[in-house]
């Protein structure tokens, strides 16, 4: 398996854990602190930044699916993944399409997310 595929497997695990609202599972693919860039702001968080209960209550979200995700830059220790995903309600109606650039770094336990840049 190539390094690109290793990275994409971690990205797919992230979405699977996100869809399951499984914070312990998500934490396995995260390396805190996490950098979050969005809305013209940069923040650093010592924990994952989405509260699933609030997110679901505010949006009616049920699940997300990748529209596209690909490694766009990579070294032996850092990778940038461009991603586009659609978020859906339980009835299948579209909430929104989100685009992001994920930053992952190679850690002793494998590739981990360290940064999220959201458009």
Other CB atoms within a 10 A radius of the CB of residue 24 amount to: 7
The pTM for the full model equals 0.95
The kind and range of the H/E element at 86 are: strand 78-89
Question: For the segment 76-92, what is each residue's pLDDT rounded down to a tens digit?
Answer: 999 999 999 999 999 99
| Spans of all domains in the chain | 3-118
Residues 6+ positions from 12 with CB-CB distance below 8 Å = 66, 69
Which stretches of the chain drop beneath a pLDDT of 50?
none
CATH architecture of 3-118: Roll (3.10)
**Which pLDDT does position 2 carry in this prediction?**
87
């Amino acid at each position: 398996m190539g390094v690109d595929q290793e990275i994409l497997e971690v990205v797919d695990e992230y979405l699977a854990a996100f869809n399951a609202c499984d914070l312990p599972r998500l934490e396995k693919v995260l390396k805190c602190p996490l950098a979050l860039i969005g809305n013209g702001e940069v923040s650093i968080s010592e924990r994952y930044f989405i509260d699933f209960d609030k997110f679901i209550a505010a949006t009616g979200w049920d699940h997300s699916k990748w529209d596209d995700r690909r490694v766009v830059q990579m070294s032996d220790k850092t990778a940038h993944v461009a991603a586009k995903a659609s978020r859906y309600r339980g009835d299948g109606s579209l909430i929104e399409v989100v685009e992001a650039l994920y930053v992952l770094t190679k850690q002793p336990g494998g590739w981990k997310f360290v940064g999220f840049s959201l458009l």
